[in-house]
Amino acid sequence: MARINENYLKLPQNYLFTEIARRVKIFQSENPNAEIIKLGIGDVTQPLPKVCLDAMNKAVAEMGNAETFRGYGPEQGYLFLREKIAEWNYKKRGLNVSAEEIFISDGSKCDCGNIQEIFSLDSKIAVADPVYPVYLDSNIMAGRTEIIYLPCTAENNFSPAPPAEKVDLIYLCSPNNPTGTTLDKAALANWIDYAKKNDAVILYDAAYAAYISEENIPRSIYEVDGARDVAIEFRSFSKTAGFTGTRCGYVVIPENLCGTTSSGEKIPLKNLWLRRQSTKFNGTAYIIQRGAAAIYSDEGQAQIKTLIDYYMINAKIIRAGLTAAGFTVYGGINAPYIWLKTPNNLSSWNFFDELLKKYKIVGTPGAGFGSCGEGFFRLTSFGSRENTLAAMERLKN
Ligand code: PLP
């Protein structure tokens, strides 16, 4: 019989959202008339921008014509999209990132989960706690055991400090899921300094960069001096343009960013990632890449702004509603997530049950994102306006 990868057995048995769905299902079957409002899962609810639909429709027509039909595309992604990303997300903001340093994918989850493959199995990892579970789980699956947790608490403004010991890989996420908080330039400069001193690589997840509204918060880690020497950046069209079901994201790996072999030889990480992608990935669909590229025009930018503003008004409504109901809230200013302290020191799962039973509102228990998430709870602003307002009305009453 084939032996399994036993590292999978070290993962938590129940995926967080499966357990939430189980509890909601039981409640709904016991209370069939209850109108439950779901502000739990981080998935968007508004339709795709028109510019994306138009571009995808045009691309569909191209696929039906022998002259313009496309088969396998470049593993790194089409140049038309990589050039637009380099221009609009980096050059226009004064940042030096070229199309050759961008790798298109079918979303950030795969990129964040797969990137660890190009690093040694004995790498020591640092992850924030609480955190998006993919960073940790993908390293556990690979068999890495040296994992340092970086507590993110109200006391440190949910901005993790570098550890005393040396680590090789550091996962940072800003704006953060689940806390909805961001890392400022000083915090990132501190991490870049740490990475340089310790020969570490920062894996910077900026999936929610488009939600940053405050001018002094960096949208990209490359806004901070020295980042190109130590950091890989992940971005996604999922929350930027409603692509959660459409699927497109990308990774930036600067030309000169290197890792070392056991004998100390420096190897560009970009070459390893290209090798990995061309072996295991056959590119994101042409139609989807055309749709993604459409956000890079004045009209496209206006349409995604309307989408993001919609969710951020929801975030404002949630923040105001929770504050008025006496909760202590964090996040929700530069991110679509609101992180609240559970009242009366309730555990986050007990609070989940109470919110569901008394108010018929579903959120996400903070403990599901790491031990420092205990005593906290996440609500998302991705619901419809109607549901967001109705949820806050219930809490008020
Ligand atoms: N990174 C973070 C922090 C996320 O919260 C998510 C999705 O929720 C992702 C990455 C993955 O996004 P996608 O795979 O849809 O691009």
pLDDT in tens, 174-219: 999 999 999 999 999 999 999 999 999 999 999 999 999 999 999 9
Residue nearest to atom 8 of ligand 1 (CA): 42
Point out the ligand 1 atom lying closest to the alpha carbon of residue 243.
15
Residue length, the chain? 397
Helix (H, G, I), strand (E, B) or coil at 310: helix
Site to substitute for ligand 1 among 179, 239, 240, 364, most atoms within 8 A of C-beta: 239
State phi, psi for 82 to the nearest 5 degrees. -65, -40
Residues 6+ positions from 30 with CB-CB distance below 8 Å: none
Site to substitute for ligand 1 among 172, 236, 381, most atoms within 8 A of C-beta: 236
Reading the block at residue 167, the tokens are 């680590």
Exposure string for 233-272, b = 16+ CB within 10 A, e = fewer: bbbbbbbbbbbbebbbbbbbbbeebbbeeeeeeeeebbeb
Cα within 13 Å of Cα(378), Cβ side: 29
Q: What percent of the chain has pLDDT over 90?
A: 96
Please state, as a whole number, how many other Cβ atoms lie within 10 Å of the Cβ of residue 308: 21
Reported as a single tens digit per residue, the pLDDT across 296-342 is 999 999 999 999 999 999 999 999 999 999 999 999 999 999 999 99
Strands 125-129, 169-173: pairing kind: parallel
> Ligand 1 centre and the CA of 134: distance in Å?
9
CB 196 within 8 A of CB 166: no
> Ligand 1 centre and the CA of 207: distance in Å?
6
Helix (H, G, I), strand (E, B) or coil at 203: strand
Q: Quote the CA–CA distance of 78 and 181 in Å, as a whole number.
A: 33
For the chain, report the end-to-end CA distance as a whole number of angstroms: 59
Point out the ligand 1 atom lying closest to the alpha carbon of residue 236.
16
Residue nearest to atom 5 of ligand 1 (CA): 177
Q: Quote the CA–CA distance of 59 and 6 in Å, as a whole number.
A: 44
Q: Quote the CA–CA distance of 362 and 65 in Å, as a whole number.
A: 47
Find tokens 């970009």 and name the residue: 270
> Ligand 1 centre and the CA of 152: distance in Å?
19
Closest CA to 300 of 289, 292, 288, 311: 292
Please state, as a whole number, how many other Cβ atoms lie within 10 Å of the Cβ of residue 64: 8
Helices 385-396 + 298-324 axis angle, to 10: 10
Point out the ligand 1 atom lying closest to the alpha carbon of residue 107.
16
Q: Which amino acid is at 242?
A: G
Closest CA to 210 of 153, 249, 166: 249
Q: Which amino acid is at 249?
A: G
C-alpha dihedral (36, 37, 41, 42), degrees to nearest 10: 170
Reading the block at residue 103, the tokens are 């790798």
Closest CA to 284 of 54, 84, 81: 81
> Ligand 1 centre and the CA of 129: distance in Å?
17
Query: What letter would DSSP give residue 260?
Result: E
Site to substitute for ligand 1 among 114, 132, 248, most atoms within 8 A of C-beta: 132
Please state, as a whole number, how many other Cβ atoms lie within 10 Å of the Cβ of residue 327: 18
> Ligand 1 centre and the CA of 301: distance in Å?
21
- pTM of the predicted model as reported, rounded to 2 decimal places: 0.97
Ligand 1 neighbours (beta carbon < 6 A) = 42, 107-109, 112, 132, 173, 177, 205, 207, 236, 238, 244, 249
Site to substitute for ligand 1 among 109, 172, 173, 204, most atoms within 8 A of C-beta: 109
Query: What letter would DSSP give residue 47?
Result: P
Strands 337-341, 376-380: pairing kind: antiparallel
Q: Quote the CA–CA distance of 356 and 37 in Å, as a whole number.
A: 9
Please report the pLDDT score of residue 288 as a whole number: 98
Closest CA to 289 of 65, 70, 64, 46: 70
Residue nearest to atom 1 of ligand 1 (CA): 207
pLDDT tens across the length of the chain (397 residues): 999 999 999 997 777 888 999 999 999 999 999 999 999 988 999 999 999 999 999 999 999 999 999 999 999 999 999 999 999 999 999 999 999 999 999 999 999 999 999 999 999 999 999 999 999 999 999 999 999 999 999 999 999 999 999 999 999 999 999 999 999 999 999 999 999 999 999 999 999 999 999 999 999 999 999 999 999 999 999 999 999 999 999 999 999 999 999 999 999 999 999 999 999 999 999 999 999 999 999 999 999 999 999 999 999 999 999 999 999 999 999 999 999 999 999 999 999 999 999 999 999 999 999 999 999 999 999 999 999 999 999 998 7
Residues 6+ positions from 288 with CB-CB distance below 8 Å: 56, 106, 243, 246, 247, 248
Find tokens 């955190």 and name the residue: 131
Residue nearest to atom 2 of ligand 1 (CA): 207
Please report the pLDDT score of residue 14 as a whole number: 72
Q: Quote the CA–CA distance of 217 and 186 in Å, as a whole number.
A: 10
Point out the ligand 1 atom lying closest to the alpha carbon of residue 43.
8
Please state, as a whole number, how many other Cβ atoms lie within 10 Å of the Cβ of residue 87: 13
